[in-house]
Structure 1
Amino acid sequence: MDATFLEQILIIFALSIGALALCYRLKMPGIVAFFLTGIIAGPHGLGLITNRADVEILAELGIIFLLFTIGMELSLKSLLEMKKGMLTGGVLQIGLTIGVVAVIASAFGLAPPEAIFFGMLLAHTSTTVMLTVFQHRGEVDTPPVRLALGISVLQDLSTVPMILLVPMLGGMGSAGVVPSLINFGIGLILLGVVTVSALWVVPRLLYRVASLRSRELFMITVITLCLGTAWLTSRAGLSLALGAFLAGLIISESEYSNAALSSVIPFRDIFTSFFFVSMGMLLNTGFFAAHALPIVGLIIGIIILKAIIGAVAVIPAGVSLQNMILTGLAIGQIGEFAFILSRSGIEYGLLGPDLEQVFLAVSVGTMTVAPFVIASAPRVTSAVRRLPLPGWLKARDAALKVAPANGPKKGHIVIVGFGPMGRHVADAARSTGVPYMAIELNPKTVREERKKGEPIFFGDAINESVLANAGVEGARVVVITIPNAATARQVTAIARKMNPKCAIITRTRYMEDSLSLYTLGADEVICEEFETAAEVLMRVLIKYPVPKTDIDRLVASMRTDRYEMLREASEQVPSLRDIELHLDNAAISIVRVEEGAPIAGKTLAETNLRQKYDVTVLAIRRGAETLAGPDGGTMIEAGDLCILIDAGRGNGEISPLFRRRSDAVSSSSPKNQSEQT
């Protein structure tokens, strides 16, 4: 191996380490780090890489492995199973972007083929950038993010037919149109060959190879299929990238696709980084400096244009105005597949040197600011709501159907978000007879649950009118189960403003979000990250000879230490559970007085609970009324909920006093008492 070549690879890796660390600290996608590496090491930067051709070879392999893994991950079946909203939104977004950009580019003097091709480039969005941003925010599973990711995946798939169309665009108006049509026909024939191979040939071949149980043989066979198919399509006059994608589709339909994917991913990650480094090396920093203002203007204009088109494209999916804006902003940047498509455009003369520099600068710029653009969604939504919007668009923020006329308006639970957690809360409330009302942003979920009789309606809970429709002003508890941290903060603040007395229980995924939720008015913040750690700790200790009481006390102490620190920072009042932890020999319990219980109809003085059982009644809940700090003359009635502090911890069994007489006699028999002891 040439020592110079090894030196250049070492320079790229060393610079990438620093760039990746910087981007990680700034919460930017890793792709930006590779672009930055190429800019620094390239001929327009420090000039550390003297032979760009060697890097180009590695970059070409990166394109091949990237398209190959995309083909394996998507598969033909997955294309047919895409949801209607994603499919419709993706097709609309791609078509509108190409059309609008082509018209604007033509107005600025570009020829129609070049204008259409530029629209094809801008129609792409970076799935990698979106995943990185939303994974950090913990919002990958939310409906608007799933919709945006689905559209982005469809854009990635559209790269294949676009690559087939590039030769036709390059041949427009010349004698080259006939060869282009021939190449397009060859591409269609290859798709037929892919289908046949996926169904019959490749599964049998991989079965034979896998039966030999040689990991090396299997890996070499998979890579040979990838490179061989790419070479065949290249010989047929088509691109290497198209062949790699088709090879991935072929393998995806076999039962060995997962094993093949795991074998190729390390190669993909390494070589793909070289591809983005090579694209960074192409960026002329001098050209950017000379045209900085127009390029910055283009970056802002393209983000706004793509955001508007993206928001319009998801209108048929029936999403709210907030989710329309979030989806539009999420797909506002230009994606990595646009760089792959640009290589074909350069080859066929659709992307000249100056236009290529503009495209590179704008693409890197949109990717760099993508995290900040996505984070601005709540502020942009608030600003858009102040505009004179059409009535049908404003109605997307309101309820599709108002709450039932007999819905609860006082003392109930308001559940914001009806995912798995919201359903569990509703089930528990229903089984205990507690009234509740749910708000959900997914219209399909609302429609299905209303058919089952659930008190649920469609609406965006960051609007006061929606919360008012759920009766937040009279609610006793508001449970916020949505995983979007920014939205949870907004709903918490609005609910606290509308009802200062209600208890607000909020879910969050990360501890770093807890303090802000407490500050905004949440009474309890359930952190998934911390609760998972506590549960794991408990299950680990159970495997050892540690008494369960010690485990419970350790876990409870860990919880109170962590949550108390947050509450103190937000000046929140400790909960009953926290008070219990500071009383060494006491336990707090809530007991219902049953009809016919020995204690029913007696005053607290007559029950003599404190002297006989070392038990103090802190409060009595009677219907909608709470009797705090009851005195000796307070009468205990059937149906009361008594909040007790038992300082004796076993000195006396008091539960029979609260049950009906027949149960009390059975429970207080000598045999039962000895068993309890």
Structure 2
Amino acid sequence: MVEALPWVLLTAWAAILFNIILRRFGLPTLLGYMAAGLMARLALGDEQFDPHLLVELAEFGIVFLMFNIGLEFSVGQLKRMKREVLGHGGAQVGITGFVIALFCHYGLGMDPTASIIVGLALAMSSTATVLRILTERREMGKPYGQQTLGILLFQDMAVIPVFILIGLLANPNGDPLLMVLEAAVGAVAALLLLYLLARFVVTRLLDLIADTHTHELFVGSVLLIAVGAAYITHAMGFSWSLGAFFAALMISETKYKYQIETDLNPFRDLLMGLFFVTVGMQIDLQFLAAHPLSVLAVLVGLLLFKGGVIFLVIRLATNRDTALKTALALAQGGEFSFAVLELARGQDLVAMGHHQTLILAVVFSILLTPFLLRHLEALAKLLGAKEEQVEIQSHGGDDQQHDNQVVICGFEHCFQHTIEEGHIVVCGYGELGREVVRQIRQAGLSYIAIDNHRLRVGEGVAHGDAVMYGNATQRGVLEKAWVARAGTVILALEDMGTLRQVAESVAAMTDHPVLVVKVEDKAHESVLEGIPVKGIVHQYEEAARRLLDQALICELPLRFSDKSKPAEELWENESPQGQPPIWEKKS
């Protein structure tokens, strides 16, 4: 057995180098990860190649991906999607699996058991690939994105019945009714346990941790919540990702959703990269060279037939454009296809030759998916979608989750807040931030405030202010506040180090940032050196100016008999020669 660390390092460096090259051509990074996995397999050789530990670790990439997807939704949205999840998802898996099984049995001469397993394996699509690309392209809220997510959620839930079926086929003497009953009881118990933990334990735990203002404790607790929820469903026989999704769904209606999403993104992206490395490791070039036509035939047949089934299912419920895009997005095989085929092979239900052919076809279908999604609009028009229909559908739909809508949560309730382009972002909701927000509301301007103190956020929401919980030094939180399209960003922060970090983050997100900051004096102004700040308010200087303005207005008329002159003119007469009035703004 080769030491693990050297080839892990080799694979990591290969992934970095491949992705540097691919990004120069605008290609997705998952291709670089797959290429690195293939290179690692070639370097090690089949005899020394043992990716099982890496595969198990890579599954957590899907866990964190589904956790993030769950944060983007609410229980109400999931209820509204029951047609997409149960209706469309159930029809897609059932029809695809049934017809492929018939073809394998009667067309290819495979035995009934193997035919059923192959049909169910190929009915699955790649949650990891599709959701990652749709999230990056900000298309989850579009009609075809909602249809795609609904079908993928059903596929995740269908994995358990599929595993039960494989167990029955491998052990025909078992009691099928008992196995189904055990699975149903396990599902109810798992979901009930997750609900109770999220409702009565997790939110209170996050409150306590947030009050410590220790970021690493918050990140660590979020990691434990995601992995712990995944383990609960896995221990009860379900997929890891299903538990993570439902746990996040419960947390999505709390004030912490945006901060949690931002903190988890680095872990999600790293582990997702690891997942695609393991996909590349599945490619057996020797088998591919010996059976290229078989692999190509299965690949083309899978994409055409599965895409056709999805198109027909979705077309019955919606327009042609949405059906075409959903079909193109989900025509590939998926990561659960690998799991189903591997389990079946381990129990001698699928022949080794068929197993490797199917594995390679699924790998190449996943490999093609980024190109299909990248050119989705062009392919949809080529296949018959009208240009104006594509444009309308990409922005329509009552259930669409717009990028400019954020969920604001206080102590007791949450509400949707719509951000208008050109709005004001207020970073910091202390005494100064609250006063800034009060005056913004009086002026009737669109705004959003950010603060990472739980009690401040709760009090602000109770007062009717749009304050979201989050650390404004993190780019992900600023993106949720739509900083890139803000008219002005006001930094109402006391700590100069934090102020510098937030200013740098804002400046990095837009070419022409409009930053207005408050500093105590000239010495603190040097902290902002090199940052394109448009306006600086000096706390003591401005306070002195306002005090003198009030003094002039109230006192100077008493010192002069000519009360018809304004205070400014009187003060100008009193000013030393050559010095400007105190209220005159410096250019």
| C-alpha contact (below 8 Å) 2:22/2:28 kept by paired residues | yes
Structure 1 residue 309: deviation in Å? 1.5
Match of 1:31 in 2: 30
C-alpha separation in 1, matches of 2:275 and 2:99 = 29
Alignment of 1:164-183 (within 5 A): 164-173=160-169, 174-178=172-176, 180-181=179-180, 182-183=182-183
Match of 1:148 in 2: 144
Alignment of 1:107-506 (within 5 A): 107=106, 108-112=108-112, 114-126=114-126, 129-130=129-130, 140=139, 146-173=142-169, 174-178=172-176, 180-181=179-180, 182-320=182-320, 324-336=323-335, 338-339=337-338, 353-373=352-372, 375=375
Match of 2:93 in 1: 94
C-alpha separation in 1, matches of 2:119 and 2:348 = 15
Match of 2:103 in 1: 104
Alignment CA distance shift 1:49-1:348 (3 Å): closer
C-alpha separation in 2, matches of 1:359 and 1:281 = 15
In the alignment of these two chains, the number of paired residues is: 406
| C-alpha contact (below 8 Å) 1:307/1:328 kept by paired residues | yes
Alignment of 1:2-41 (within 5 A): 4-25=3-24, 27-41=26-40
Alignment CA distance shift 1:340-1:54 (3 Å): closer
| C-alpha contact (below 8 Å) 2:230/2:239 kept by paired residues | yes
Question: Per-residue displacement from partner, 1:92-134 (whole Å, max 9, x unpaired)?
Answer: 3333322322322333344545434433333333466557777
Unpaired segments of 5 or more residues in structure 2? 399-508, 517-530, 536-587
Amino acid at match of 1:166: V
Report which stretch shifted further, 74-83 or 347-356.
347-356
Amino acid at match of 2:29: G
Amino acid at match of 1:311: F
Tell me the SS of whatever aligns to 2:213. Answer: coil
| C-alpha contact (below 8 Å) 2:71/2:249 kept by paired residues | yes
Amino acid at match of 2:167: G
Structure 1 residue 191: deviation in Å? 1.7
Tell me the SS of whatever aligns to 1:317. Answer: coil
C-alpha separation in 2, matches of 1:253 and 1:445 = 22
Structure 1 residue 41: deviation in Å? 0.7
Structure 1 residue 441: deviation in Å? 6.5
Alignment CA distance shift 1:303-1:283 (3 Å): same
| C-alpha contact (below 8 Å) 2:89/2:154 kept by paired residues | no
Structure 1 residue 11: deviation in Å? 0.6
Alignment of 1:592-607 (within 5 A): none
Backbone CA RMSD of aligned residues: 4.4
C-alpha separation in 1, matches of 2:283 and 2:88 = 33
Amino acid at match of 1:192: L
Alignment of 1:504-543 (within 5 A): none
| C-alpha contact (below 8 Å) 1:32/1:364 kept by paired residues | no
Structure 1 residue 334: deviation in Å? 2.6
| C-alpha contact (below 8 Å) 1:72/1:261 kept by paired residues | yes
Percent of residue pairs bearing the same amino acid type = 25
Amino acid at match of 2:174: G
Structure 1 residue 367: deviation in Å? 2.6
Question: Per-residue displacement from partner, 1:617-666 (whole Å, max 9, x unpaired)?
Answer: xxxxxxxxxxxxxxxxxxxxxxxxxxxxxxxxxxxxxxxxxxxxxxxxxx
Match of 1:59 in 2: 58
| C-alpha contact (below 8 Å) 2:130/2:329 kept by paired residues | yes
Structure 1 residue 215: deviation in Å? 1.9
Alignment CA distance shift 1:130-1:242 (3 Å): closer
Alignment CA distance shift 1:443-1:15 (3 Å): closer
Alignment CA distance shift 1:308-1:17 (3 Å): same
Question: Per-residue displacement from partner, 1:573-632 (whole Å, max 9, x unpaired)?
Answer: xxxxxxxxxxxxxxxxxxxxxxxxxxxxxxxxxxxxxxxxxxxxxxxxxxxxxxxxxxxx
| C-alpha contact (below 8 Å) 1:130/1:149 kept by paired residues | no
C-alpha separation in 1, matches of 2:70 and 2:396 = 30
Structure 1 residue 188: deviation in Å? 2.5
Alignment CA distance shift 1:35-1:360 (3 Å): farther
Question: Per-residue displacement from partner, 1:230-275 (whole Å, max 9, x unpaired)?
Answer: 4444444555444444444454454323333322222222223222
| C-alpha contact (below 8 Å) 1:63/1:340 kept by paired residues | no
C-alpha separation in 2, matches of 1:18 and 1:307 = 34
Tell me the SS of whatever aligns to 1:125. Answer: coil
Amino acid at match of 1:176: G
Amino acid at match of 1:175: N
| C-alpha contact (below 8 Å) 2:71/2:252 kept by paired residues | yes
Structure 1 residue 289: deviation in Å? 1.4
Structure 1 residue 176: deviation in Å? 3.5
RCO comparison, higher one (Cα < 8 Å, 6+): 2
C-alpha separation in 1, matches of 2:243 and 2:257 = 17
| C-alpha contact (below 8 Å) 2:84/2:150 kept by paired residues | no
Report which stretch shifted further, 274-283 or 368-377.
368-377
C-alpha separation in 2, matches of 1:16 and 1:363 = 21
Amino acid at match of 1:280: G
| C-alpha contact (below 8 Å) 1:197/1:250 kept by paired residues | no
Question: Per-residue displacement from partner, 1:456-493 (whole Å, max 9, x unpaired)?
Answer: xxxxxxxxxxxxxxxxxxxxxxxxxxxxxxxxxxxxxx
C-alpha separation in 1, matches of 2:154 and 2:27 = 26
Alignment of 1:605-624 (within 5 A): none
C-alpha separation in 2, matches of 1:271 and 1:11 = 17
Alignment CA distance shift 1:103-1:215 (3 Å): same
| C-alpha contact (below 8 Å) 1:165/1:184 kept by paired residues | no
| C-alpha contact (below 8 Å) 1:85/1:147 kept by paired residues | no
Question: Per-residue displacement from partner, 1:134-165 (whole Å, max 9, x unpaired)?
Answer: 799x7948xxx933322321233124322321
C-alpha separation in 1, matches of 2:105 and 2:47 = 39
Amino acid at match of 1:6: L
Unpaired segments of 5 or more residues in structure 1? 386-395, 398-414, 420-439, 447-531, 545-677
C-alpha separation in 1, matches of 2:393 and 2:237 = 49
Tell me the SS of whatever aligns to 1:148. Answer: helix
Alignment CA distance shift 1:17-1:194 (3 Å): same
Match of 1:588 in 2: none
Structure 1 residue 329: deviation in Å? 2.6
C-alpha separation in 2, matches of 1:205 and 1:249 = 17
Alignment CA distance shift 1:57-1:326 (3 Å): closer
| C-alpha contact (below 8 Å) 2:143/2:397 kept by paired residues | no
| C-alpha contact (below 8 Å) 1:130/1:330 kept by paired residues | yes
Structure 1 residue 43: deviation in Å? 5.2
Alignment CA distance shift 1:299-1:29 (3 Å): farther
C-alpha separation in 2, matches of 1:119 and 1:198 = 37
Amino acid at match of 1:146: K
